[in-house]
Amino acid sequence: MTPLSNQQRLHLINTQQIYEVRIAAFRHARNYAYGMRWKTVRGAEYLFRERDRRGNGRLMGRRSPETERVLAEFLEGKARAQERLTAIQRQLDEQARLNKALRLARVPRVVARILRELDEQNLLGAFTVLGTQAMYAYEAAGGVQFLLELLASGDVDLLYDARRKLTLISNRLDGGGLLGLLKKADRSFELVRKRGFRAANAGQFMVDLIAAPRSMREAGPITFSADDLVASEVPGLQWLINSPKLDAIAVDEDGQPVPFRVPDPRAFALHKTWLSQQPARDPLKKPRDLAQARAVAQLVRELMPQLDFDVALTSLHGDVRAMRELLGM
């Protein structure tokens, strides 16, 4: 791994700070989504506040000086919110040009668009990024860049925390499901197989929806709408669901910020090492699993002293914690 220069660190921090301001401004602007208008009911005009794209909403009172004032304040607030969001986006666009010049641009464009969509819907906390793509978060958090050979990947794994209510997530996805969100990021995404766990775009980049195994009492499918992805329950993931998480902001190929939620890097390193020792694991993947694990373990050891491998990660199975020896920890 290569440490970032002081100039690169400065601009990475600037990018992260501007993004945090931008996402707050975006969410404020969303308070004005779907609009407010007059609606005629039985010959009388009422102020109507829409709440979703299907036109549902509620009446706020008959037309009067008071409701006219409410509408005027709403429209003024909406305009101010949009102006602020536009100004912050201009800052980000300028920062993006600097990021590209400084060779900070790393995360694949399609991954970045998906994660920003999740964050804008306030859903990033429900989906943990696993596998190779998570390493972009670790290098951003540690102020380093890993070898590109450790980062190349044609897919991203989204680990859904099934302890969250499906209806809440479905509502935030506005009826379109996870596939609908993927299509906002890239309209060419389609299910690889009906009622399957995988979607792919025209470039054959794949998104897998996975979950930790559940008890027999929770036998219903994990999905967010009709004709959506259905999560595949994968053994060994309960440890990562229960482990601490790390939130980080990296930079994509266009120089734009990318929010991540990933497992604690110690959990990632130990779990990847464990995977590399599993008999059923693809032999072609095992050496890379171990190389990625050792790279992240080195990052923790040298640049994240606050994350002590000597402190047991109690959410991880004993067999996984035992992998420390293979990491030289």
* Statement to judge: residues 71 and 122 lie in one domain: no
Residues 63 and 259: their CA atoms lie apart, in Å, by 44
Taking the CA atoms of residue 306, residue 313, residue 316 and residue 270 in that order, the dihedral angle to the nearest 10 degrees is 40
Residues 94 and 183: their CA atoms lie apart, in Å, by 27
**Which of 58, 77, 101 marks a domain boundary?**
101
Helix%, strand%, coil% for the chain, nearest 5: 45, 20, 35
Exposure string for 222-237, b = 16+ CB within 10 A, e = fewer = bbbbeebbbbebbeeb
* Statement to judge: residues 132 and 87 lie in one domain: no
The dihedrals phi and psi of 39, each to the nearest 5 degrees, come to -135, 130
pLDDT of residue 316: 59
Residues 93 and 116: their CA atoms lie apart, in Å, by 15
* Statement to judge: residues 58 and 130 lie in one domain: no
**Coil, strand, or helix at residue 55?**
coil
Contact criterion met (CB below 8 Å) for 162 and 221: no
- Could you give the C-alpha distances from 55 to 126, 160, 199, in angstroms and in order? 27, 30, 29
Residues 303 and 306: their CA atoms lie apart, in Å, by 9
The dihedrals phi and psi of 129, each to the nearest 5 degrees, come to -80, 125
**Which of 263, 293, 321 marks a domain boundary?**
263
* Structural domain that includes position 310: 265-329
Residues 166 and 14: their CA atoms lie apart, in Å, by 36
Per-residue pLDDT of the chain (329 residues; tens, 9 = 90+): 999 999 999 999 999 999 999 999 999 999 998 899 999 999 999 999 998 878 889 999 999 999 999 999 999 999 999 999 999 999 999 999 999 999 999 999 999 999 999 999 999 999 999 999 999 999 999 999 999 999 989 999 999 988 877 878 888 887 789 999 999 999 999 999 998 999 999 999 999 999 998 876 666 889 999 899 999 999 888 888 888 999 999 999 999 999 999 999 999 998 899 899 889 899 999 999 999 999 999 999 999 988 887 665 555 566 666 777 777 76
**Which of 78, 101, 124 marks a domain boundary?**
101
Strands 257-263 and 206-211: unpaired
* Statement to judge: residues 32 and 173 lie in one domain: no
pLDDT of residue 27: 93
